[in-house]
Amino acid sequence: MNNAKYIIEKELFDRDNLIYLLSVEGDERQYIYQKADEIKQKYVGNKVYFRGLIEFSNICAKNCYYCGIRRGNGEVQRYYLNEEEVLQAAEFAWKEGYGSLVIQSGERKDKWFVNQITNLLEKISDRTGEELGITLSMGEQTEETFLRWKKAGAERYLIRVEAFNPELYHKIHPNDAIHSYQQRLETLKLLQKTGYQTGTGVMIGLPFQTKSHLADDLLFFKDFDIDMVGMGPYIEHEQTPLYQYKDQLLPKKERLELSIRMVALLRIIMKDVNIAATTAMQTLDPLGREKALKAGANVMMPNITPVRYREGYLLYENKPCLDEEAEDCKSCLEARIHLAGGEIAWYKKGNPKHFHKRQQANNN
Ligand code: 5AD
Ligand code: SF4
Ligand code: FES
């Protein structure tokens, strides 16, 4: 028996073994992918859940060193969608059977913003008969805001910690009060406490990042008992401070491969969580997301932001689907998923099985 097989069968998922699994090649690597697919079929099935992604606004109070829409980037034309644009996109997702929505935005906490999101949630729930599962992804907020948004119709929240190792976290964020590592973790806990299906994630292939950091990230997902994960390769953006380290990065092919291996290992260690095949994977390889689906991912997020705003939401370079209308992405994804041997779960919210289990455990 090879080592990877031994570790996986005996479930010996400590940090050193995870580092080992992140480093293997050849047959052992293939074994990991095959095992991840088997576990996916067994625990969550072959279905791919769609979440229509609305990029609500690129106005952001933060200045993360990696991100193209950071506050300090004066080249970006800032926007937010008006109410009608959001409602139309939500209706599109609903009518087309996507089952759920993700509304994503730069981070801000001002009153107007919090009220506007509340208002949009209420209107979306009205227009779609509460049939859509709604996820928010708009950074750190107060407990009061989380409760308000939940009451207005949000069920899920995504907040990537980006890097669970505090030193690495500080290397990729400014060292000030609004970029606090502790605050980020507290927010994640607050989401669980307020009853959200809770998602997080990291970037893979960051400058200064080691396999040991990535192994710790996997262990954090498990210790936090996270319900959903979105992770993808870090991709450099010229108008950001981290760009100066571009020559130290893993080659793109390896960065993608490492990202897919993280997906596979997460599926193996957590079994019933929802894992996204992310857009950043497609940026590095046209078939990147399909590869992730074959290695354990079960969620895709077709972009349904009106096309004229997409140039404004360039988190990283070469982001795909800049000119494709929602309908085009829909048919493109259908074809791709069928090619990858998956089936789309139309009209299903696709709540993470892990969340139900976590709730049952809490109620007992
Ligand atoms: N490369 C890859 N992903 C990025 N994000 C932001 N900037 C980059 C980048 N340069 C991701 C972050 C954030 C999400 C919205 O986009 O993980 O949480
Ligand atoms: Fe703002 Fe998020 Fe970009 Fe950080 S990663 S600058 S919080 S949009
Ligand atoms: Fe947008 Fe393929 S997913 S064009």
What pLDDT, on the 0 to 100 scale, is given for residue 289? 94
pLDDT (tens digit per residue) in 34-46: 999 999 999 999 9
What pLDDT, on the 0 to 100 scale, is given for residue 229? 98
What pLDDT, on the 0 to 100 scale, is given for residue 180? 98
First-last CA distance in the chain: 40
What pLDDT, on the 0 to 100 scale, is given for residue 1? 58
Whole-number Å distance, alpha carbon 13 to ligand 2 midpoint, is: 32
Whole-number Å distance, alpha carbon 284 to ligand 2 midpoint, is: 21
3-state SS, the chain, equals CCHHHHHHHCCCCCHHHHHHHHHCCHHHHHHHHHHHHHHHHHHCCCEEEEEEEEEEECCCCCCCCCCCCCCCCCCCCCCECCHHHHHHHHHHHHHCCCCEEEEEECCCCCHHHHHHHHHHHHHHHHHCCCCCEEEEECCCCCHHHHHHHHHCCCCEEECCCECCCHHHHHHCCCCCHHHCHHHHHHHHHHHHHCCCEEEECEEECCCCCCHHHHHHHHHHHHHHCCCEEEEEECCCCCCCHHHHHHHHCCCHHHHHHHHHHHHHHHHHHHCCCEEEECHHHHHHCCCHHHHHHHCCCCEECCECCCHHHHHHHCCCCCCCCCCCCHHHHHHHHHHHHHHCCCEECCCCCCCCHHHHHHHHHHHC
62: Cβ below 6 Å to ligand 2? yes
What pLDDT, on the 0 to 100 scale, is given for residue 357? 84
In terms of Cα–Cα distance, which of 235, 163, 238, 147 is closest to 196?
Answer: 147
What pLDDT, on the 0 to 100 scale, is given for residue 360? 81
237: Cβ below 6 Å to ligand 2? no
CA of 231, closest atom in ligand 1: 17
Whole-number Å distance, alpha carbon 361 to ligand 1 midpoint, is: 33
Atom 3 of ligand 3, nearest CA residue: 329
Atom 5 of ligand 2, nearest CA residue: 67
Whole-number Å distance, alpha carbon 28 to ligand 1 midpoint, is: 30
What pLDDT, on the 0 to 100 scale, is given for residue 356? 81
Whole-number Å distance, alpha carbon 356 to ligand 2 midpoint, is: 30
What is the spatial distance between Cα 200 and Cα 15, in angstroms, rounded to a whole number?
Answer: 20
Pair of tokens at residue 119: 């208002």
What is the spatial distance between Cα 181 and Cα 357, in angstroms, rounded to a whole number?
Answer: 28
Q: Which ligand is nearest to the CA of 240?
A: 1
pLDDT (tens digit per residue) in 71-97: 999 999 999 999 999 999 999 999 999
Per-position pLDDT tens, the chain of length 364: 579 999 999 999 999 999 999 999 999 999 999 999 999 999 999 999 999 999 999 999 999 999 999 999 999 999 999 999 999 999 999 999 999 999 999 999 999 999 999 999 999 999 998 889 999 999 999 999 999 999 999 999 999 999 999 999 999 999 999 999 999 999 999 999 999 999 999 999 999 999 999 999 999 999 999 999 999 999 999 999 999 999 999 999 999 999 999 999 999 999 999 999 999 999 999 999 999 999 999 999 999 999 999 989 999 999 998 988 898 889 889 988 988 889 999 989 998 888 888 888 876 5
CB 99 within 8 A of CB 346: yes
- We report the CATH number of the domain holding residue 46 as 3.20.20.70
Atom 1 of ligand 3, nearest CA residue: 329
What pLDDT, on the 0 to 100 scale, is given for residue 352? 87
Whole-number Å distance, alpha carbon 270 to ligand 1 midpoint, is: 23
What pLDDT, on the 0 to 100 scale, is given for residue 194? 97
CA of 235, closest atom in ligand 1: 1
321: Cβ below 6 Å to ligand 3? yes
Q: Which amino acid is at 183?
A: Q
281: Cβ below 6 Å to ligand 2? no
Task: Give the count of domains, the chain.
Answer: 1
Atom 2 of ligand 2, nearest CA residue: 106
Whole-number Å distance, alpha carbon 3 to ligand 1 midpoint, is: 34
Place of tokens 């857009």: 279
Contacts of 192 (CB under 8 A, 6+ apart): 198, 224, 225
Structural domain including 177 reads 3-363
